[in-house]
Amino acid sequence: MSTSLIDEIRRALEIEPDPDRALKEAVRTLAAQPEISWAGIAFLEDGELALGPTAGTAATGVRLRVPITYDGDPVGELQVDGEPEPPVIEQIAKIVSPYVLIGWDMRGQPWEP
DSSP for 14-53, written as a single string: HH--SHHHHHHHHHHHHHTSTTEEEEEEEEEETTEEEEEE
Residue that wins the pLDDT comparison between 100 and 66? 66
What 3-state class would DSSP assign to 108?
coil
Element spanning 48, H or E: strand 48-56
Res 89 pLDDT > 80? yes
Q: Are 68 and 41 in contact (CB under 8 A)?
A: yes
pTM for the whole structure: 0.87
Residue 54: strand, helix, or coil: strand
**Separation between Cα atoms, residue 16 and residue 14, nearest integer Å:** 6
- Give the model confidence (pLDDT) of 40-51 as tens digits: 999 998 889 999
Express each pLDDT in 24-63 by its tens digit.
999 999 999 999 999 999 999 888 999 999 999 999 888 9
Whether 111 shows a pLDDT value over 60: the answer reads no
What CATH fold (topology level) applies to the domain 3-106?
Beta-Lactamase (3.30.450)
